A and B are shown apart, each in its own frame.
Chain A
C-alpha cells in the first residue's frame, strides 16, 4: 500500500496537532494537586484595604524606639553599628550609606517637605515622626519593578518577594519616601540576635516593611502596632466601622507627599 504525499502531510499535520493539543489540554485540565492543598490560614487578619494611623500625640520618643526595635528584631534587620564581631563595626559615614531600615524616625521638615510652612507650631517642629513604607494605593515602586518582585496585594499591602528581587534598585529610585533599603553587603554578620522564625536577606536585594504580612497571616497585628501602646493603629480603610476610620473621622490627619499622587496609606494625627 502506498500513500500519497498529500495524505502523508495531512496525517502528519493532524497527528502533530492532536499530540500538542492533548498535552496542553491535559496540563490545563489536570488538577493542580499541590496548589489546591494550600489555603490561607482561617485565623488571618484580612481587610479590603489596609491603612495605618500614627497618632503623634500619643507617640513619645521611647515608644517610637520600641516600635523600631520590635520591628527590626523580628525581621532580622542588620544594625551596622552593632555587629556580632566588634571588628566589623563600620564608621558612621559608612553606616548611613549601608543602612537598612524598615521603620525609622524623622523630623517634620524632612518627613513632610513641601508642607513645611513658614511658621509651624514649635511642638510639631520638635516631633520625631515615625516613618515606614506607606503602602501606597498607587505605588511607584511597583510600576518600575522589572521582575514583579514587589507588587500590590489585593488588600493594599505592597509586598516584597525576596526570591525574585534582582537588586536593580529601580524601586529605590521610584519610592519618594526612602522606605526601601539595599543590601550592599551580607547582612548576617550584623544581626546580633537572629529570629529563627523569619529569614534574613542576602547581599544584593532590596528590602522594606511588608506591614508584617507574616504576622497578619497568623492573626497577629504588626509588630510596631503591638509595641506602640495604642499610638499606631492598623485597620480596614474600606470598613466604615473600623478603628482606623473612626480615628480619621474624628481627627485631622496629614500624609506624606500627597502631591506626588502615590496616595500613601499611612496617616499622621498631629
Chain B
C-alpha cells in the first residue's frame, strides 16, 4: 500500500514505494565477512598462543668474572631498562660533538662514555641481550650499521 504524503494543504500525493533490497546481497555479505576475518587475523591467529617474553642473558665472560657484589650496570637496573636509549643518545652527542667522554654515574664511579668500549665490554652478547627486547617490541636501532659488536670474538673464544 502506498503511503500518502501530507502537507498543510492536505494530502498532496503518494510516496512511491521503495523496494528495500541490497543488490548483490550474497556477494557483499561474503565480502564483509572475508574482510572482517582478514583484518582480525592477527588477533585470532595468536589466540591461546603465548609469545615468550624477552629474556636478556647476562652470562657473558666479563660479567661472570665479576664478583657477585660488583655485578651492576653503570646505573640502576630499572633506570637502564627505561632510559638507556636517552642515555646513549645523549652520550653520542656529548662525546662526538663536545668531547665529553667521561661519565660519572650516580654512585660516583667514572666510565668512558662509549657504546662499543663500555657497554659491549660486559654485554658482548648482542643477540642474547640487546636483540631480545628490541625484537620483542619491534624496534630496530641502527647503531649496529657502524658500531661493531663483539659477538664474532665471543663465538671464537667458545
Spell out A's residues near B (CB within 8 Å): 34-35, 37-42, 44, 76, 151, 153, 159, 161-163, 194, 196-202, 213, 217
Q: Judging by beta carbons under 8 Å apart, are A163 and B96 in contact? A: yes
Chain B contact surface mostly: helix
Collect the chain A residues with CB atoms within 8 Å of residue B20's CB: none
Instruction: Provide the bound-state CA to CA distance between A38 and B100, in Å.
Output: 6
Expressed in whole angstroms, the Cα–Cα distance for A38 and B88 within the complex equals 12
Contact A163 B116, CB 8 Å, known A40-B102, A41-B102: no
Q: Are B101 and A41 in contact (CB under 8 A)?
A: yes
Using a CB–CB cutoff of 8 Å, the interface residues on chain B facing chain A are 86-87, 90-92, 94-105, 112-113, 116-117, 120, 145-148, 150, 152-153
Distance in Å from the Cβ of B93 to the closest Cβ of chain A? 8
Q: Is the CB of B90 within 8 A of A34?
A: yes
- Inter-subunit contact B97/A197 (CB<8 Å): no
State the majority secondary structure of interface residues on A: loop
Q: How far in angstroms is the closest Cβ of chain B from A206?
A: 13
Residues of chain A lying within 8 A (CB to CB) of residue B102: 38-42
Give the distance in Å from the alpha carbon of A53 to the alpha carbon of B52 in the complex.
Answer: 60
B112 to chain A: closest CB distance in Å? 8
Contact A34 B86 (CB under 8 A): yes
Contact A38 B91 (CB under 8 A): yes
Is B97 a contact of A161 with CB atoms below 8 Å? yes
Interface contact tally, CB-CB below 8 A: 64
Which A residues touch B86, using CB under 8 A?
Answer: 34
CB distance from B4 to the nearest CB of A (A): 50
Q: How far is the CB of A215 from chain B (nearest CB, A)?
A: 11
Q: How far is the CA of A38 from the CA of B93 in the complex (A)?
A: 11
Assembled-state Cα–Cα distance A183/B153 (Å): 26
State the CA gap A40–B104 with chains docked (Å): 11
Contact indicator A194/B146 (Cβ below 8 Å)? no
Known: A35-B94, A38-B94, A163-B92. A199 touches B99 (CB 8 A): no
Question: Which residues does chain B contribute within 8 Å of A39, judged by CB atoms?
Answer: 100, 102, 104
Nearest 4 pairs between A and B by C-beta?
A38-B100, A202-B145, A199-B146, A38-B94
Q: Give the residue name and chain of the B residue nearest to A201 (CB).
A: B146
